[in-house]
Amino acid sequence: MHAVEVADLVKSYPKNPAPAVDHLSFQVQAGEIFGLLGPNGAGKTTTVGVLTTRVLPSGGTAKVGGVDVAADPVSARRKVAVVPQRVNLDRGLNARQNLVFHASYHGLPRRERNRLADELLERMGLADKRTARVDDLSGGQAQRLMIARALIHRPEVLFLDEPSTGLDPQARLFVHDRVRELRGEGVTVVLTTHDMDEAEKLSDRVGIVDHGRLLTLDTPSALIKALPGSGTVDAAVRADGPDEQRVRELLGEVAGVQQVERIGGADGQLRLRLYSDGEPSALLGPVARVLDEHRLPVTDLSLGSASLEDVFIELTGRELR
């Protein structure tokens, strides 16, 4: 049985002619970390809303742990947990009480909810914050507390919405480690994000949606491999030298270079990515020669590899939403 099963799902709103979710179908295996990616307004949040019983579908079916969420939302709520992007902790309660009361809504006996609350606070690195008021928690602490709250009723499927937006790198790594642990425990995780790096690192498989439709679904490495013209070369020159426009023009004229794109340069360097129409390693020699001929101070020249972000941009385009 699949942990999540979405079949021909449609959600349309009366005010909007284009459906937010348009005949979407996918399945998530039990124990898998599944990344649901898409630009803003692609229909990710609506899809997760349907699966967590907060959005009523207009058509199709959505099942969580074998339970149809539209037909039996009460049973479905026992199987899912949500960690939203915005803090929605109970401000009338302290950190530990947030966990204990949530567990009581889900019918856990008193002794068990106390034990689990302490255990989860410990595991989420919040043991010294047990009596802290919600308003006194930092962004990262609130996020961890919401994960702890989501786990306390032992859901089969955990929905994480943009889990590391606004977190510092330490907190981000901590959250990533905890998410991987969950997979080890057999909890299915559905992750919505537009942080491609995060999706690539965490997900077993990713589905990319746009305009409410599924564009592709596979493992991150398979998606990257399938990307047309995935080979690139990254070149960096010292920024105090020539102006950017000239360097780009020079490199654009090298045979085999399809496109030149700036990828960074805040660190006193000008970093450019060259897209090859053939084998990218064939560009290394000619590029080095051109740079040397024009006495440009090269600091780095390397074969780049495409990332999930390239796949994402390739599929969903560059225009702003």
| Secondary structure of residue 239 in the 3-state scheme | coil
Decide whether 104 or 216 has the Cβ nearer to other proteins: 104
Decide whether 161 or 200 has the Cβ nearer to other proteins: 161
First CA to last CA across the chain, in angstroms? Answer: 37
Q: Give the shortest CB-74-to-other proteins separation in angstroms.
A: 5
Q: Give the shortest CB-76-to-other proteins separation in angstroms.
A: 9
Could you tell me if 316 and 215 are in contact, meaning their C-beta atoms sit under 8 angstroms apart?
Answer: yes
Decide whether 100 or 233 has the Cβ nearer to other proteins: 100
Show the DSSP H helices in 124-217 as ranges: 139-152, 169-184, 196-202
The identity of residue 127, as a single letter, is A
Decide whether 61 or 104 has the Cβ nearer to other proteins: 104
Both structure tokens of 71: 């037909």
Decide whether 45 or 316 has the Cβ nearer to other proteins: 45
Decide whether 41 or 297 has the Cβ nearer to other proteins: 41
* The 33-37 sheet, strands edge to edge: 80-83, 157-161, 188-193, 33-37, 205-210, 213-218
Q: Give the shortest CB-10-to-other proteins separation in angstroms.
A: 14
Nearest to 38 by CA among 230, 226, 228, 315: 315
Q: Which residues bind other proteins (CB under 8 A)?
A: 46, 49, 52-56, 73-75, 77-78, 80-82, 84, 86-93, 101-102, 104-107, 149
Decide whether 3 or 80 has the Cβ nearer to other proteins: 80
How far from 235 is each of 138, 191, 241, 284, 289, CA to CA, in Å?
A: 39, 34, 14, 9, 12
Q: Give the shortest CB-107-to-other proteins separation in angstroms.
A: 5
The identity of residue 318, as a single letter, is R
Q: Give the shortest CB-96-to-other proteins separation in angstroms.
A: 13
Residue 114 CB-half CA count within 13 A: 3
Q: Give the shortest CB-55-to-other proteins separation in angstroms.
A: 4
Q: Give the shortest CB-102-to-other proteins separation in angstroms.
A: 6
Could you tell me if 139 and 166 are in contact, meaning their C-beta atoms sit under 8 angstroms apart?
Answer: yes
Q: Give the shortest CB-106-to-other proteins separation in angstroms.
A: 6
Q: What angle do the packed helices 110-123 and 95-105 form, to 10 degrees? A: 130
| Secondary structure of residue 70 in the 3-state scheme | coil
Which DSSP symbol is given to 278? S
Decide whether 102 or 129 has the Cβ nearer to other proteins: 102
Contacts of 55 (CB under 8 A, 6+ apart): 11, 46, 49
